Structure 1
Amino acid sequence: MILDEKQAAITDTIFCVSAADSSRAYIPATLISGRRKGPTFTIAAGIYGMGYPAIASLLQLRREIDPEKLSGCLIIIPIMNLESFYNRTPLANPADHLNLDLAFPGSPAGTITEVTADFITTGIFDATDIFLDIHGGGVNENLVPHACYYDNKELQHQTQLAARLSEISGLAAVVSLPYNQPSGHPARQAFKQAVRLGIPALSITVGKLGSYEKTDIVSAKNAVYRMMQELNMYDNKKVLTASPLKRSYTEQVSVTGPGRGLFYSSFKAGAIVTKDEEIGYITDVFGRNIKIITAPVSGTILKKNTGLAVNEGETLFYIGSGQK
């Protein structure tokens, strides 16, 4: 395991996992071992193959970190889903058509995506003290950059640390999700699986799939630097302390399409809406048969689907509500 390497060093490796059908997946990882003792902070991107701002932010971070100034270890996985990345299929591995972020905890006897999830669960999470997943919104999404964590009442210390790291990230909003994980049901998401294992874990969302904006890259990278400073792991004096958090929510409500058609809305991410307010509508291909879309709760639009074509059940909005 790369964690066995000597201190004050940067070690790059590519793990190879294989399934029973001989299909393979490759997972690039960098271990940065610090001069002083400290926690192991694992940061992953590219679980969705086109999350370019998240991927670029970790590649820049890998170049910038000086292991002589680091306390503890960083495990950086810049592209968790390499096959999806190179095939430009953001939500699925082309080998088995499964979404890695819905495959946890995985299975060593499953398809290649399930084997990959099992490797992350057993090979990476077992060596992890804190876990961060960085990704972007959908290809056709306008969003407010935000951090997200699960409010696990049974593990208060871990939840408090995840909440604190979210709050000091410098992102525009924080969403605290209720942790409901029935026994015997898979966690599905990577960072929810980490929470299930008792690891303080959070996720941040910046930019969107397929985009490559410098501001999104810097925002994600600076969020990581602030977290490392909070963990007493690294101090980058060029990164300013974030302004006090202004928006924090205890719920994220999805608004789905009532039917197939063309979607219209003048609202943008960041807009404040009230319950039952009209926030968009759908028509058929002739512009007729209008179906009105209303806000189910009062709150702030965190994500908005910017596509014109929609199908029944597709998410059109995510609304942050229950503001603290």
Structure 2
Amino acid sequence: MKIIRQIIVLFLMFFALNSYAQVRARLVVSEGPGRKDTIFRLTDGSQQSYLPVTVLKGRKEGPVFSMIAGIHGYEYPPIVALQELLKEIDINQLKGTLIVVPIANVEAFYNRTLFVNPLDGKNLNNAFPGAASGTITEQLAHCISNEIIDQTDFFLDIHGGDASEDLLPFVCYYDRKDIPEKTAQAKELSEKSGFDYVVSYPYTIGATEPAKYAFKQATQKGITALSIEAGKLGTVQPENVAVIKKAVYNMLIQLNMYEGKIKPVSSHKTPVYLNNQTYVKVPQKGIFYSEFKSGGKVKNGQILGYITDEFGNKLTEIVAPTSGIILYKVGTPPVNKDETLFCIGYNGG
């Protein structure tokens, strides 16, 4: 009897340690037209979580386009936008395949936690490429990297401002110069998305360095990848949900994956390009005051706000280190040392 119990225990341990490997092969994108919902169940041996994925297969062959929301569970407009798109997308008008991850970090979403997964305290947006046998967050990153990114031709990572972030809606991509055709394609899709602001980030990592971010992981693998930032301060703004949905439709139409005409949402004749970013860090913990909002224009040397202690005594002023447009900022009073207080975008030529 003792030997039998030992065998059972070993079997259960083997099952727990290998449960991720057992579900990895379940995401199939080659079946016939229609919709398939899949749950990837993950465990580190003591805790469990899951990743919901939907595959929408069109009636005609075409590229694979993946989109993901909820890497940060408090970013609600992207999550709501994908929920609505899952209801709206017409298989009969779709050419190719959509892989949709409506909420990547379900634990952070349901527990209303900022940035990190409450199961392991790790930030999914800093975990790629992940690890098959790591913590829950590392397994999520590994699953997304291997089951979704590796199967896609076009990858869209949709974010917004968390509960503390005031954010200007924009679309962005990495300026990876050694694969100019992919970078040009990402730029073109950004332009066709209809966003007022197009941001390009420098691409500086090597082939074996951790990408950290999902759409940087896709860029590292040579996939045409973009990210959307829309939404702010932990609420659902209908206008930002609509902007995200229009951008997705515009990209699919531009790729000849969906029927329809591109509907620009830009108020400019051409997008505003911002190819440089300056990050202003919090110099010390305190209470932050500022009259500036996302989208505001600032000048080098301009006072952007100040920080006080709990008694209201001014500790320090915040000065703009460059001229540009505020892409996002802390929009709530509490700030902690070394957090990003402002991100200022500008065109450096």
Of residues 214, 217, 229, the one that matches 1:193 is 217
Report the alpha carbon displacement of residue 207 of structure 1 after superposing the two structures with TM: 0.7
Distance 1:289 1:90, change over 3 A: closer
* Separation in structure 2 between the aligned mates of residue 49 and residue 236 of structure 1, nearest angstrom: 32
**Does residue 254 in structure 1 map to residue 279 in structure 2?**
yes
* Separation in structure 1 between the aligned mates of residue 181 and residue 48 of structure 2, nearest angstrom: 38
Of residues 285, 301, 305, the one that matches 1:280 is 305
* Separation in structure 1 between the aligned mates of residue 209 and residue 148 of structure 2, nearest angstrom: 21
**Does residue 224 in structure 1 map to residue 248 in structure 2?**
yes
Of residues 173, 181, 196, the one that matches 2:205 is 181
- Give the number of the structure whose alpha-carbon radius of gyration is greater: 2
* Separation in structure 2 between the aligned mates of residue 321 and residue 241 of structure 1, nearest angstrom: 23
* Separation in structure 2 between the aligned mates of residue 289 and residue 45 of structure 1, nearest angstrom: 39
Q: What secondary structure sits across from 2:193 in the alignment? A: coil
* Separation in structure 1 between the aligned mates of residue 240 and residue 77 of structure 2, nearest angstrom: 6
**Does residue 100 in structure 1 map to residue 128 in structure 2?**
no
Give the letter aligned to residue 109 of structure 1. S
Give the conservation status (yes or no) of the 8 Å contact 1:170–1:245: no
**Does residue 38 in structure 1 map to residue 58 in structure 2?**
no
Give the letter aligned to residue 138 of structure 1. D
Report the alpha carbon displacement of residue 7 of structure 1 after superposing the two structures with TM: 2.9
Q: Give the TM-score taking structure 2 as reference length.
A: 0.88
What is the number of residues matched between the two proteins? 322
* Separation in structure 2 between the aligned mates of residue 199 and residue 78 of structure 1, nearest angstrom: 21
Q: What secondary structure sits across from 1:228 in the alignment? A: helix
Of residues 155, 161, 170, the one that matches 2:194 is 170
Residue ranges of structure 1 left out of the alignment (5+ in a row): none
Cα deviations across residues 100-133 of structure 1 (Å, max 9, x unaligned)? 1111000112111111111111111111111001
Report the alpha carbon displacement of residue 17 of structure 1 after superposing the two structures with TM: 2.4
Distance 1:226 1:127, change over 3 A: same
Distance 1:229 1:183, change over 3 A: closer
1:90-239 alignment runs, 5 A limit: 90-208=114-232, 210-237=234-261
Q: What secondary structure sits across from 2:173 in the alignment? A: strand
* Separation in structure 2 between the aligned mates of residue 100 and residue 204 of structure 1, nearest angstrom: 17
Report the alpha carbon displacement of residue 323 of structure 1 after superposing the two structures with TM: 5.5
* Separation in structure 2 between the aligned mates of residue 210 and residue 138 of structure 1, nearest angstrom: 5
Q: What secondary structure sits across from 1:168 in the alignment? A: helix
* Separation in structure 1 between the aligned mates of residue 43 and residue 30 of structure 2, nearest angstrom: 25
Q: What secondary structure sits across from 2:61 in the alignment? A: strand
Residue ranges of structure 2 left out of the alignment (5+ in a row): 1-25
Which residue is equivalent to 1:55?
79
Give the conservation status (yes or no) of the 8 Å contact 2:191–2:271: no
What's the % identity of the aligned pairs?
A: 46
Give the conservation status (yes or no) of the 8 Å contact 1:142–1:268: yes
Give the conservation status (yes or no) of the 8 Å contact 2:73–2:112: yes
Moved more, 62-71 or 204-213: 204-213
Report the alpha carbon displacement of residue 290 of structure 1 after superposing the two structures with TM: 3.9
Q: CA RMSD in A?
A: 1.6
Give the conservation status (yes or no) of the 8 Å contact 1:23–1:95: yes
**Does residue 27 in structure 1 map to residue 61 in structure 2?**
no
Give the letter aligned to residue 190 of structure 1. A
